[in-house]
């Protein structure tokens, strides 16, 4: 048996062990093809089956209606920040509304500002990005080109429980760090996107789900690789897609369907895991202090400080000695962050909880 740690890293993140074993088993010979998955032509029937299965799995898991395309692109959410604005926000467009609940929302906003007019519909900065807004706090424009929000802020650990209500305005969402962690009402969105390297696979593929009516005819100067319409027409095969990364998405979505049993069950498990850690924080008599407030607490990235911040380095180090790794908070905010994506087993969360209790007892 290979050594295996509990990896609480925010992404690239822990993957389901059965997925890794399957990828390992097939690495030299994909389904008796005599070739590695890495060696399959993206135009081969072998790879067609991979990409079609990955799409079908996503469609089933999320109930994606037929009038949405599912694309496998490259460049991460960071390229999507620009690409969605290039495609949706033209120089003559009314402003797009951006709801900013943390670091990634800010980055999305900054890239959109390069392409067109934007309006900040809400920004949690003054409160240190500890919560998502209430509906009535949003300054939304009825004629906005679109509304953008970040479903889960990976760094701050702040998550929306419900998407903002936006009337008829197209809703756009960065789902990078809670994609496939729970059910989703896809019909409410014009465009959804997320890097795969949290819940859906390895780094190197970005999943975009886009409603057909949003696929505009683009200006002549749009680079082909940034043109959703063209990429949708070519079913993500305009050029060579990241074949291995898409293969891993196929395996992970297959695991979600067949071994977990779908997103409702996954959501239940994720909430249970998060509850274990939030209780450990709340019952620590102030030794641990959660960053996010109440309903805004993320079930993906649990973030907290120690009352005595000087102890945080020791916390991370001692946890690591027990194979509880990658618990250091993002360098921009400090503290502790436990990312407990789909593939983190409850045993890992329990081991972390036990360590937290013990560390608090020894140092409290």
Active-site annotation holder among 97, 122, 174, 178: 174
Which residue among 55, 118, 239, 342 contacts a second copy (CB under 8 A)?
Answer: 239
Q: Any contact of residue 111 with a second copy (CB under 8 A)?
A: yes
Among 103, 119, 222, 350, binds a second copy (CB under 8 A): 222
95: contact with a second copy by CB under 8 A:
no
Catalytic residue check, 234: no
Torsion of CA 184, 190, 195, 196, to 10 degrees: 40
34 forms part of the interface with a second copy (CB under 8 A) = yes
- Residue appearing with tokens 């297959």: 254
Distance CA 327, CA 10 (A): 9
Among 66, 220, 285, 321, contact with a second copy (rule: CB under 8 A)? 220
- State in angstroms the smallest separation of the CB of 134 from a second copy: 31
Q: 104 catalytic, yes or no?
A: yes
Distance CA 235, CA 72 (A): 8
**Binding of a second copy by 93 (CB under 8 A):** no
Using CB under 8 A, which of the segments 77-85, 131-139, 160-168, 267-275 binds a second copy?
Answer: 77-85
Q: How far apart are CA 70 and CA 150, in angstroms?
A: 19
Residue with tokens 């009402």: 185
Residue closer to a second copy by CB (options 24, 275) is: 24
Task: State CA 314 to chain mean position distance.
Answer: 29
Are the beta carbons of 124 and 158 closer than 8 angstroms?
Answer: yes
Closest distance between a second copy and the C-beta of residue 176, in Å? Answer: 9
Is position 198 annotated as part of the catalytic site?
A: yes
Q: Is 5 one of the binding residues for a second copy (CB under 8 A)? A: yes
Helix (H) or strand (E) holding 233: helix 228-233
Q: Could you say which of 18, 23, 48, 351 contacts a second copy (CB under 8 A)? A: 23
Residue 295 is classified by DSSP as G
Separation CA 347–CA 6 (nearest Å): 9
* Cα distance between the two ends of the chain: 37
Q: Where do contacts with a second copy occur on this chain (CB under 8 A)?
A: 2-5, 7, 9-15, 20-21, 23-24, 27-29, 32-36, 38-42, 44, 74-79, 81-83, 86, 111, 114-115, 195, 197, 201-205, 220-226, 238-245, 248, 323, 325-326
């Amino acid at each position: 048996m290979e050594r295996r740690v509990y990896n609480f890293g925010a992404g690239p993140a822990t993957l389901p062990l059965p997925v890794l074993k399957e990828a390992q088993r097939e690495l030299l010979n994909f389904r008796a093809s005599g070739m590695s998955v890495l060696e399959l032509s993206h135009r081969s029937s072998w790879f067609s089956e991979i990409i079609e299965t990955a799409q079908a799995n996503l469609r089933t898991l999320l109930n994606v209606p037929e009038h949405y395309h599912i694309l496998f692109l490259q460049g991460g959410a960071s390229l999507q920040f620009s690409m969605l604005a290039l495609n949706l926000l033209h120089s003559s467009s009314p402003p797009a509304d951006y709801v900013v609940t943390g670091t990634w929302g800010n980055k999305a906003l900054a890239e959109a500002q390069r392409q067109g007019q934007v309006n900040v519909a809400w920004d949690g900065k003054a409160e240190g990005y500890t919560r998502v807004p209430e509906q009535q706090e949003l300054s939304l424009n009825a004629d906005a080109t679109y509304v953008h929000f970040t479903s889960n802020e990976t760094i701050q650990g702040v998550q929306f429980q419900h998407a903002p209500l936006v009337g008829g305005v197209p809703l756009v969402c960065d789902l990078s760090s809670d994609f496939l962690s729970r059910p989703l009402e896809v019909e409410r969105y014009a465009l959804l996107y997320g890097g795969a390297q949290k819940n859906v696979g390895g780094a190197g593929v970005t999943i975009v789900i886009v409603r057909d009516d949003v696929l505009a005819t683009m200006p002549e100067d749009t680079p082909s690789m940034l043109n959703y319409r063209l990429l949708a027409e070519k079913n993500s095969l305009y050029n060579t897609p990241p074949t291995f990364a898409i293969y891993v998405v196929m395996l992970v979505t297959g695991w979600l369907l067949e071994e977990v049993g779908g997103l409702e069950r996954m959501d239940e498990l994720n909430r249970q895991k998060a509850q274990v850690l939030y209780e450990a924080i709340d019952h620590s008599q102030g030794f641990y202090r959660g960053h996010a407030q109440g309903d805004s607490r993320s079930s993906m990235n649990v973030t907290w400080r120690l009352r005595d911040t000087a102890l945080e380095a020791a916390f991370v180090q001692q946890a690591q000695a027990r194979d509880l790794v990658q618990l250091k908070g993002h360098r921009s905010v400090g503290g502790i962050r436990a990312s407990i994506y789909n593939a983190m087993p409850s045993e890992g969360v329990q081991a972390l909880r036990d360590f937290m209790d013990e560390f608090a007892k020894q140092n409290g």
